[in-house]
Amino acid sequence: MSDKIRQDAFQKRMKRTVIARQHNFFAVVSPGFLDVCYSELCRIQNPPIEQIEKSTGGVSFVGYLHDAYYLNLMSRTATRILMRIAEFKAVHFKELEHKLSDIPWEYFLISSNPLYIRIHVSTSKSKLYHKSAIAERIYSSIAARFLSLSHQSTNESIQTNSFTTYQNIFGRMVNDRFTLSIDTSGDLLYKRGIKRFVGKAPLRETTAAAILYKAGYTPGMPLIDPMCGSGTFSIEAAMISKSIPPGWFRNFAFMQWPCFREKRWQYLKRVAGENRIRFTRPHIVSLDIDELASNILKQTILDFSLSDVIQVIHDDFFNISPRDFFDKPGLVMINPPYGIRLKEHADMNAFITSVGNRLVSHYHGWRAALILPRHMSSPITSPHHVFPFVHGGLDMNLVCFKIQ
């Protein structure tokens, strides 16, 4: 059989098995933001994705492969999107090995090179509980599959110079049920491909976007980010306002899969980019007392054409008033020092009290969102909403209120 005939047959099988068929997917979500991510995924997909449900640790849904393309591009709050490629019962290793041998790895991987593959295994309440042994079986099934395929030479010829990201494979054994997934995202989705500088104890972009949604931020709303650091909240708010997809500036793991369809991907990007908005004056003010951080943020904003929406100032929160910038109220988003950054402020309670006093005296009519360690109380006695979440292993609260 000629190489062309063999390749054509492979493409037809791949289209029938992967591209033209619906699959189960799972969007992993950071603790505390499941409702936000679920609402976002329901909202951004058109036509709506099917059988979307909240579950432990994330959101499950049914869709086509191109739906995963689109959600990777568009979701601001998901951590990663997994594609389920197999689910079965296994109570001994022979059974596991037999069922793994049926997985068509050649549709998702361009190589069996172990430097290109990362395997992650978790187990609970199962006869097969040895994680390393399960991971070894998964990799052995990949190696054996590639060794047996007649088109192996085509894949092997590109394995040393074509892949630029790891392919993450997840095996989960619970109550003797094994679920095998492959990560469609690659780098975690908080990596937008924008920031060159990361401050102390940085907040992930996916968390920042979820917090903005929780706080009621809407496109075009005035925003003051007075302790901006590397500018995470400001940049996320700018991308929301300008309708820039969060995955616009980065690549994804699925782009290296043999089943990847470049034309479909470019079409989805083109459609997603049609609604981009340009503003005549900035409505986001970012300030920080760290001059270096402010200067780096200014350069980032110029590099990614966000200067129409963000103004960066090297100043102190206690020196400015919202009336210096805006003639109507908006949202003030405060991420004060805590944890690693707490060393800069010996008395955290006194500092937060000062922040609260400043808000009351200068931000009448504004919405405020304040991030605090969970053991600390809100400095505001007026009605407020508290949303717990986890950041960097710390238990945190998002405190939202309107300043009367």
pLDDT digits (tens, 9 = 90+) for 28-76: 999 999 999 999 999 987 677 889 999 999 999 999 999 999 999 999 9
At 158 the pLDDT is: 44
DSSP 220: T
What is the DSSP pairing of strand 331-334 with strand 367-373? parallel
Nearest-angstrom CA–CA distance, 172 and 88: 11
At 150 the pLDDT is: 58
Mean pLDDT in the chain?
91
Residue 133 clears pLDDT 50, i.e. is over it: yes
Residue 125 clears pLDDT 90, i.e. is over it: yes
At 155 the pLDDT is: 47
At 332 the pLDDT is: 98
Residue 309 clears pLDDT 70, i.e. is over it: yes
Q: Which of 252, 277, 237 is nearest to 191 (CA)?
A: 252
At 91 the pLDDT is: 96
At 378 the pLDDT is: 86
Residues 6+ apart with CB under 8 A from 198: 230
Length of the chain: 404
- The structure's pTM equals 0.92
At 200 the pLDDT is: 64
Q: Is 201 helix (H, G, I), strand (E, B) or coil?
A: coil
At 142 the pLDDT is: 96
User: Average of pLDDT values for 163-183?
Assistant: 92
Interhelix angle for 65-74 vs 34-44, to 10°? Answer: 120
At 197 the pLDDT is: 67
Bridge partners, residue 312, by sequence: 286
For residue 218, what are the CA distances in angstroms to 30, 126, 402? 22, 46, 15
User: Average of pLDDT values for 192-221?
Assistant: 89
Nearest-angstrom CA–CA distance, 228 and 245: 22
Element (H, E) at 333: strand 331-334
Residue 9 clears pLDDT 50, i.e. is over it: yes
Residue 153 clears pLDDT 50, i.e. is over it: no
At 157 the pLDDT is: 40
Q: Cα dihedral sign for 106, 134, 117, 248?
A: positive
User: Average of pLDDT values for 265-292?
Assistant: 95
Q: How confident is the model at residue 79 (pLDDT cuts 50, 70, 90)?
A: very high
CB 176 within 8 A of CB 89: yes
Q: How many CB atoms lie within 10 A of CB 31?
A: 12
Element (H, E) at 66: helix 65-74
Q: How many CB atoms lie within 10 A of CB 306?
A: 24
CB 211 within 8 A of CB 113: no
E-assigned strand segments in 90-232: 117-124, 167-174, 177-183, 223-225
Residue 85 clears pLDDT 80, i.e. is over it: yes
Q: Is 19 helix (H, G, I), strand (E, B) or coil?
A: helix
